[in-house]
Structure 1
Amino acid sequence: MAEALTIGAKEIAGHEFLAFTLGKEEYGIDILKVQEIRGYEAVTRIANAPEFIKGVINLRGIIIPVVDMRIKFNLGTPVYDQFTVVIILNIGGRIVGMVVDSVSDVTTLTPEQVKPAPEMGTAFSTEYMIGLGTIDERMLILVDIDKLMASPEMGLIESLAA
């Protein structure tokens, strides 16, 4: 039995991650946080909301905020095409949509495939990274999506249920 790798109190051995792209980089989030994946559709803008909050959508009677991660992390001007998707997340009982360039696959990472995140000057704060996952020639930036969505600058989730 493989020993579980723990990075920042997150046990990630054998966890499955949904891989998605933002710009030229590939990211991964815990698949258990993903409720569904939808094609990008028009959103209803909310007055005075931060620019990265695209607006809200009605998801089967539930109004959910939609965040464009490309705008949030200054990754250039977003282009909405047939590959653009909204990942519907369930974070601490709160439903949130996250716009990304595309999704590629779901992958299982072993402890040997996950390395701690180095400190670096990127648009994406290492504070929200679990580590780096390596799959052959690919590298996934593993995101602590709970911590990111609950961060004060996102202002989307007041507090996470323990």
Structure 2
Amino acid sequence: MSRQLITFELGDQALGVDIMAIREIRAWSPATPLPNVPSYVRGVVNLRGVVLPVLDLRARLGWGTTEPTARHVIVVVRIGEQLQGIIVDAVNDIVSVPAEQMQPLPDTGDAESARFLDGVATIDDRMILVLALDRLIDQPNLAEAA
């Protein structure tokens, strides 16, 4: 059984998210900062009357911080019962990944690096890291902050 992913860029790295989790892709708009939230939470934006927490995916993955520009986008995803926005550099395309092209992450001895990933997909000589969205939010107070 194949899995459909929307792929996007963070720097020179390609990542993918299950297409069924995507609710919207919107242009970057500045987020209103919140006090006492983790450093990877950029704040909240108003999404047609809904307060949407915005996560800096680069910071969450431990790859530095994003300095958003007009070319960045917010991918609105459903994580559990709540909508979240994640900042990415650019959205690429939709790919179908057959089960045999999904690989588990290699054991690098650092469980922290693999914690947010479901695996690696190989599509046309490209390696796509597949995000485990449910693991991006591990702090119960984040949903309450929004």
Aligned to 1:135: 123
Q: CA deviation at 1:82?
A: 3.3
**C-alpha distance in structure 2 between counterparts of 1:87 and 1:116, whole Å:** 25
Kept after mapping to 2: 8 A contact 1:71/1:78 = yes
| 2:116 corresponds to 1:125 | no
- Which is worse superposed, 124-133 or 137-146? 124-133
Correspondence 1:69-148 to 2 at 5 A = 69-120=57-108, 125-148=113-136
Of residues 38, 55, 60, the one that matches 2:48 is 60
| 2:34 corresponds to 1:33 | no
Which structure: greater helix fraction? 2
Q: State the superposition RMSD in angstroms.
A: 2.1
Which amino acid is the alignment partner of residue 39 of structure 1?
A
Correspondence 1:150-161 to 2 at 5 A = 151-152=138-139, 155-157=141-143
List per-residue Cα deviations over 1:23-46 (Å, max 9, x = no partner): 221111111001000111011111
- Which is worse superposed, 113-122 or 102-111? 113-122
Q: CA deviation at 1:155?
A: 4.8
Provide the identity percentage: 34
SS of alignment partner, residue 136 of structure 2: helix
Instruction: Report the CA distance shift for 1:157/1:109 in structure 2 as closer, same or farther (over 3 A).
Output: farther
TM-score (norm 1): 0.79
Instruction: Report the CA distance shift for 1:28/1:46 in structure 2 as closer, same or farther (over 3 A).
Output: same
SS of alignment partner, residue 125 of structure 1: helix
Kept after mapping to 2: 8 A contact 1:73/1:123 = no
**C-alpha distance in structure 2 between counterparts of 1:74 and 1:130, whole Å:** 17
**C-alpha distance in structure 2 between counterparts of 1:71 and 1:77, whole Å:** 5
Q: CA deviation at 1:121?
A: 6.2
Aligned length: 144
